[in-house]
Amino acid sequence: MVRCLSNAFREVWRGLKMSATITAADINKLRQATGAGMMDCRKALTESNSDFEAAIDWLRKQGQKVAAKRSDREAKEGVVIAKTTAGNKAGIVLCISCETDFVSKNADFVAFAQSIADAAIAHDVKSAEELNAISINGATVADLILDKVASIGEKIEVSKFERIEAPYVASYIHGANRMGVLVGMTIEAAEAGKDVAMQIAAMNPLAVDETSISPETIEREKNIAIEMIKAEGKPAEMAEKIAAGKMNKFFKDNTLMAQAFVKDGNQSVENYLKSINAGLKVTDFKRVALG
């Protein structure tokens, strides 16, 4: 009994000695490096005998545990960032997702998402997998995300990533980082690029033009139209002709170039671009939104 009490006393004394060696400066340094809370940082330093690198590893392991527990959670909130390279020859749009708008609206979380987007541009990243592997100040993006998971306690991930290359790329952020758009164009035209990006944000086209829509999508839409017309009692030969008209409307509503320009409904987006420069065309676009 005496021996057990003695051992317990030694363990308590050892813990008190370790706590005494952990200074406020140590805790603050770890908080700055990981973003974890003060008590978590103290716990990490205690568990790692004040070894700074080991404490970071301990916090990341906690992040992995939290991430595993929350893997089945929905992360429909977050921050969308769209950025272009200095010469506007390429651009990326990504979403760093989280579970609540309380986190997504936090200035530190927005800055965190911005730093990842900056790194994606600096490293010429082309995919989400590549992005997770790059290093920022000695830590991979994947590890930095685990640090955030550990400190915030929510599911956090790079949920969406898109990239465009073109002679000129414009970017646009809509609704306090809730949606981002990239537009690739044949000629540099900053104002037109912003106008078209806003069009894409508002009207959500499926493709640049009719030729950009997959044959499978066209066939499916045509078959739906024919079945609906037949259901109205129209004969099969008439259904084909009426379906052709419906498909023309489908292309007008769902392809960027054929859509009515939101700033001037009397002309299409294609005609708006031609009014600026006969050679100005959209080569590609990407639209990323929360949810």
Structure tokens at 120: 């994606």
- If you average pLDDT over every residue of the chain, what do you get? 86
CB crowding 150-176: b at 16 or more within 10 Å, else e? bbbbbbbbbbbbbbbebebbbbbbbee
Measured between alpha carbons, how far is residue 45 from residues 21, 42, 48, 86, 222 in Å? Answer: 10, 5, 5, 41, 64
Q: Distance between CA 202 and CA 261 in Å, rounded?
A: 11
Phi and psi based region of residue 166 (left: phi greater than 0; alpha: psi -120 to 50; beta: remaining): beta
Average pLDDT over residues 245-253: 88
Helical pair 52-69 and 38-47, crossing angle rounded to 10 deg? 120
Q: Which CATH class is domain 210-289?
A: mainly alpha
Q: Distance between CA 194 and CA 198 in Å, rounded?
A: 6
Q: What does the pLDDT look like over 81-97, one tens digit per residue?
A: 999 999 999 999 999 99
Q: Distance between CA 29 and CA 41 in Å, rounded?
A: 9
Q: Which of 22, 25, 65, 66 is nearest to 44 (CA)?
A: 22
What pLDDT is stored for residue 69 in this prediction? 54
Q: What share of the chain is helix, strand, coil (3-state, %, to 5)?
A: 55, 20, 25
CATH number for the domain running over 78-188: 3.30.479.20
What pLDDT is stored for residue 185 in this prediction? 98
What pLDDT is stored for residue 120 in this prediction? 97
Q: Distance between CA 169 and CA 193 in Å, rounded?
A: 8
Q: What does the pLDDT look like over 257-286, one tens digit per residue?
A: 999 999 999 999 999 999 999 999 999 999
pLDDT for 178 beyond 50: yes
Cβ neighbors of 5 (< 8 A, separation 6 or more) are: none
Which range has the worst mean pLDDT, 47-56, 98-107, 209-218? 47-56
pLDDT for 34 beyond 80: no
What pLDDT is stored for residue 1 in this prediction? 47
Instruction: Answer whether 58's CB lies under 8 Å from 139's CB.
Output: no
Which range has the worst mean pLDDT, 15-19, 99-103, 107-111, 130-134? 15-19
Q: Distance between CA 132 and CA 158 in Å, rounded?
A: 8
Domain with CATH 1.10.286.20 in the chain: 210-289
More confident residue, 218 or 74: 218
Which range has the worst mean pLDDT, 7-16, 147-156, 197-206, 269-278? 7-16
Beta strand pairing call for 264-268 and 260-261: antiparallel
Which range has the worst mean pLDDT, 43-47, 68-72, 186-190, 228-232? 68-72
CATH architecture, domain defined by 2-69: Orthogonal Bundle (1.10)
pLDDT for 13 beyond 50: no
